[in-house]
Amino acid sequence: EALISEGRERPKGNLRVTTTVAFGSTWLASRIGSFIDLYPEVNITLLINDYELDLSMREADVAVRLTPPKQADLIQRLLKHIRFHLYASPRYVESRGIPKNISDLNEHRMVVYGESLNLPYEDVNWLLDLLQKNNAGQNQKIVRVNNVYGIFRAVQGGVGIAALPDYLAAEDPNLLRILPDIEGPPTPAFFVYPEELRNSKRIAVLRDFLIQEIAKTTF
């Protein structure tokens, strides 16, 4: 396809957007319909993976990434810092109680990120690091899931306590924040696209739309 360049015309044509499984399957997928209503001539394809597609090789046109881009020929715009807290379901709390401090987590079932070559963001297992630092990680029952959305679903099902991004936990208002003073390292979310698409109106309107929607969201 030729370089995207719409001039003064309304944005139209194909636009391939890639992002992580959890962010793409929940926050982005639930809002992309509003973008399509605004720009019906833009044909959106969501490419949802926890491994990064090569934008320079045009495997996708634009990305929302939770790690800083490493390629020099990519333009990046910081969208927001995503916050993380501990969550559990009412079902789990009813059966196992609520921990009052970090040491109490030793008596609880924890759901953490499993082994994977494609981590969705840095410090994905900050909870494990915190437990080990506070000597609370010796005898825990650990359940590992190598997908953040899978961790979210496990928490919903009462499997245990997990560190979740706040935007994802907000998808289920019944989830309970555990030890609310404990917060994970904030993760930056970037809007990324190749230098050669700098003048793309399609990318510009998507960027502006995401900025507006993110401003409405508690991250």
CB contact at 8 A, 22 and 53:
no
Q: What percent of the chain has pLDDT over 90?
A: 75
The answer to whether residue 2 scores a pLDDT higher than 50 is no
DSSP strand E in 115-200: where? 141-145, 161-165, 176-178, 187-194
pLDDT tens digits for range 38-75: 999 999 999 999 888 999 899 999 999 998 887 778 99
Sole residue written with tokens 């502006």: 208
Rounded CA-CA distance 203/62 in Å is: 7
Whether this model's pTM surpasses 0.85: yes
CB contact at 8 A, 105 and 141:
no
User: What is the pLDDT, as a whole number, of residue 178?
Assistant: 98
Q: Domain 13-79+187-215 has what CATH class? A: alpha beta
Q: Where are the domains of the chain?
A: 13-79+187-215, 84-178
The answer to whether residue 1 scores a pLDDT higher than 60 is no
User: What is the pLDDT, as a whole number, of residue 98?
Assistant: 96
3-state secondary structure of 151: helix
CB contact at 8 A, 209 and 19:
no
Rounded CA-CA distance 20/65 in Å is: 7
Q: What is the mean pLDDT of residues 168-173?
A: 95
User: What is the pLDDT, as a whole number, of residue 120?
Assistant: 86
pLDDT tens digits for range 115-134: 877 788 889 999 988 888 87
The answer to whether residue 28 scores a pLDDT higher than 90 is yes
- H or E element in which residue 38 lies: helix 29-38
CATH topology match: 13-79+187-215 vs 84-178: yes
Say which amino acid occupies 50: D
Q: What is the DSSP letter of 9?
A: S
User: What is the pLDDT, as a whole number, of residue 154?
Assistant: 98
Which band of pLDDT confidence, cut at 50, 70 and 90, is reported for residue 106?
confident
Per CATH, domain 84-178 is 3.90.1150.200: no
Rounded CA-CA distance 88/182 in Å is: 14
